[in-house]
Structure 1
Amino acid sequence: MDNFVDLYTDYLISSSSYTTATGMASLLSIKHDKITRALGTGVYDSKFLWKKAKPYVEELTQSKETIILSFDDSIQEKQYTAESELNTWHFDHVFGRSVKGINFLTALVEVGGMRIPCGVEFIKKDLWVTDKKTGKKKRKSSKTKNELFREMLEECSSKIHFDYVLADSWFSSVENMICCKKTLKNDFIIALKSNRKVALSLEDKQNETYINIKTLQPGQQTVEVWFEKLDFPLLLTKQVFKNENDTVGELYLACSDLSVSYDQITTIYKKRWAVEEYHKSIKSNTGFAKSPTKKTATQTNHFVLSIIAYIKLEWLKQRTGKNHFAMKTQIYLAAQQAAYNELKNLSTTKAA
């Protein structure tokens, strides 16, 4: 089926419920087994995603605006799907506990309000190890999330021009910073956990005099700091803000570009919110978790195709001026109207 990807992604966008081969076959008058075979035997991975994203990314990165490459992972719960190396237990910091589901890491290009995913990897726990505390067997990934981050960053750096890499504190290791700044010559703005220690000068670093960043009160300005095992300085900023429940939150950011101001760092880092909106859209608008597929290969194919469907919605957003949810609502209302008209037609048709 030569046009399977277009047909399938359009079906995902059009659907408002579970997406199945049977449902797609009925809608498009295609044989059910053709759809099942195409979804099960195709190779839809990060390389395929890049192939589809490349024309959009190349156009966007011609812009003179700041080009952002954001990295973030997310978990899609699938508690009723059989456990596998793909659908397994992961710790979710949102809930503070382990949940059963799909953990995936995305690289997202953002330019002038357009957000295009250009790479995705799924965290697969493909090894069995013995827990030293309990003596029980448990799953473990042969590649850590940070190893995948560095591999994806290297891949993106070879293909795309961008100005800053943005990531949360999960990816704030020294190894990641070295990979980004020293190896790949890219600047970054990365969040830090509040227990990190820094030196306030090169001399302090050489004397191994480090302090906890929580003791710093820089206000709305930057402080040049040195990390242990890092041979270049960073700018540190601290933001204090109120959460929705009126609690006070703090955000520490480390920036490798020494030429920028506090306001520039915080403004640029706000663009990382785009990746959260991307997660919300693929889960709500392109059927990311709404396929009852059971095999790992078929599941990952479906997930990647749902991300490609997101790219279609993002480009439609540019053309229509409507966000993803507004377009989905418009599609849903049109489907309801067609269903209502068909019901009226059935109700008024005279028996033969």
Structure 2
Amino acid sequence: MNASKVDELDYIHFLVAAQRVFTTTEAARIRAGELNAPAHDAYTRLLKRIPPDTEALWQEVAPFVRPDRGVLVVDDTTLDKPHARKMAWVTRHWSGKHKRVVQGINLISLLWTEGQARLPCDFRLYNRAEDGLTKNDHFRALLQTAHARGFQPRLVVFDSWYASLANLKYVRQLGWEWFTRLKANRLVSVEGERRNRPVSSWPIPAEGCVMHLKGYGWVKVFKTVTPDGREEYRATSRLDMTLEETAAYGRHAWQIEVYHQGLKQFTGIERGQFRVAEAQRNHIGLAIRAFLRLEVARLQRGISWFEAKQAILREAIRHYLASPSLILHSTA
């Protein structure tokens, strides 16, 4: 069997450098002038043969994280696929970007954050029709893998979608503390009051209130009001958490939104036009590893994701200006 002409790093570096077109055909065109240049089929075959796990991502990110510190954040996002008809992984999901249900691929991410760092450590793709796994199953699988890898975070942060009793108890079983949002109808009671009522019906002071969450135990609840007047309820297993700390952990939670935005904007993760499940999944995985390189450059060199990609484009333009090929010859 002939050796492959491309490997994972070839595709990752292509995703890092590409500006608008992120197809295997474009990857092959860029290398067309090379001796024994790979065809676009070589990239497609690459995407079909990579192992279907996230171990390679973990091996790359492990030197940059501190498992005994920081915060783990779990959340999902929808990769838009509005025109897909027979593409693997594509189903209908709620989109925070569009504020409605859209067609796309649901990506569930595990992010480690501390200070300015936003480092992806693991991910799952939602496809219940094929594997029977719910988002909550993926949530627990991500945390189980993180625990096996030695993580001992200060806190695990997630949205109300993942705040089921089973998930809260699972985080406690791992020996970790958690911080999440609660829906207004979650039933709680206070000390001395045995009757459970929706959390929205209780008076909650600004500094928070220790309450008994039905089916779980004692938690601390904070009430906030958004700029548009909506009431939100945040809860934590840390009964000593202060109001100031909730603001800090809220900023940690926001980091995964920033991560998802950067992932979509700079790596072409939504641009993979692959019908086969293995190829689509591996394109997504390699796009995440491409983002990791942009993030490490940001942390180590102090340059933004945009500037890192712009520097590549700038160098390409410099080479072209030294020897331009599109020239108008004088007709005089």
Fold similarity call, TM over 0.5: yes
CA distance in 1, matches of 2:134, 2:57: 22
Distance 1:94 1:12, change over 3 A: closer
CA deviation string 1:61-89 (max 9, x = no partner): 46xxx510000000011122233450122
Checking the alignment, whether the CA contact within 8 Å between 1:85 and 1:125 is kept in structure 2 is no
Higher mean displacement: 259-268 or 106-115? 259-268
Distance 1:173 1:35, change over 3 A: same
Kindly provide the amino acid, as one letter, of the partner of residue 273 in structure 1: W
Checking the alignment, whether the CA contact within 8 Å between 2:5 and 2:38 is kept in structure 1 is no
Higher mean displacement: 29-38 or 308-317? 29-38
Kindly provide the amino acid, as one letter, of the partner of residue 177 in structure 1: L
Does residue 347 in structure 1 map to residue 327 in structure 2? yes
CA distance in 2, matches of 1:112, 1:316: 15
Q: Which runs of 5+ in 2 are unaligned?
A: none
Partner of 1:136: none
CA distance in 2, matches of 1:112, 1:61: 14
The counterpart of 2:255, out of the listed 248, 255, 274, is: 274
Partner of 2:153: 162
Partner of 1:193: 183
Partner of 1:249: 230
Partner of 1:132: none
Does residue 12 in structure 1 map to residue 12 in structure 2? no
Partner of 1:221: 207
Partner of 2:38: 31
User: In the TM superposition, what is the alpha-carbon distance from 1:180 to its structure 2 partner?
Assistant: 0.3
Checking the alignment, whether the CA contact within 8 Å between 1:255 and 1:265 is kept in structure 2 is no
User: In the TM superposition, what is the alpha-carbon distance from 1:335 to its structure 2 partner?
Assistant: 3.6
Checking the alignment, whether the CA contact within 8 Å between 1:169 and 1:191 is kept in structure 2 is yes
Checking the alignment, whether the CA contact within 8 Å between 1:86 and 1:123 is kept in structure 2 is yes
Does residue 48 in structure 1 map to residue 39 in structure 2? no
CA distance in 2, matches of 1:224, 1:2: 61
CA distance in 2, matches of 1:299, 1:259: 45
Higher mean displacement: 295-304 or 284-293? 284-293
Kindly provide the amino acid, as one letter, of the partner of residue 280 in structure 1: Q
User: In the TM superposition, what is the alpha-carbon distance from 1:227 to its structure 2 partner?
Assistant: 1.1
The count of aligned residue pairs is 322
Q: Give 1:77-226 correspondences, 5 Å limit.
A: 77-92=80-95, 94-127=97-130, 142-159=132-149, 160-181=151-172, 183-201=173-191, 203-204=192-193, 207=194, 209-226=195-212
Distance 1:18 1:110, change over 3 A: same
Kindly provide the amino acid, as one letter, of the partner of residue 239 in structure 2: L
CA deviation string 1:109-140 (max 9, x = no partner): 0022111111100001325xxxxxxxxxxxxx
Kindly provide the amino acid, as one letter, of the partner of residue 190 in structure 1: T
Partner of 2:245: 264
Kindly provide the amino acid, as one letter, of the partner of residue 301 in structure 2: T
Partner of 1:305: 286
Kindly provide the amino acid, as one letter, of the partner of residue 218 in structure 2: P
User: In the TM superposition, what is the alpha-carbon distance from 1:176 to its structure 2 partner?
Assistant: 0.6
* TM-score of the two chains, using structure 2 as the length reference: 0.89
* TM-score of the two chains, using structure 1 as the length reference: 0.84
User: In the TM superposition, what is the alpha-carbon distance from 1:157 to its structure 2 partner?
Assistant: 1.6
Checking the alignment, whether the CA contact within 8 Å between 1:44 and 1:305 is kept in structure 2 is no
The counterpart of 2:225, out of the listed 228, 232, 240, is: 240
User: In the TM superposition, what is the alpha-carbon distance from 1:271 to its structure 2 partner?
Assistant: 0.9
Distance 1:250 1:142, change over 3 A: same
Q: Give 1:38-77 correspondences, 5 Å limit.
A: 38-57=46-65, 60-61=66-67, 67-77=70-80
Kindly provide the amino acid, as one letter, of the partner of residue 108 in structure 2: L
Checking the alignment, whether the CA contact within 8 Å between 2:6 and 2:38 is kept in structure 1 is no
User: In the TM superposition, what is the alpha-carbon distance from 1:49 to its structure 2 partner?
Assistant: 2.1
SS of the residue corresponding to residue 226 of structure 2 reads: strand
The alignment's C-alpha RMSD in Å is 2.3
User: In the TM superposition, what is the alpha-carbon distance from 1:93 to its structure 2 partner?
Assistant: 5.0
Checking the alignment, whether the CA contact within 8 Å between 1:17 and 1:290 is kept in structure 2 is no
SS of the residue corresponding to residue 259 of structure 1 reads: coil
The counterpart of 2:272, out of the listed 260, 272, 291, is: 291
Identity of aligned residues (%): 24
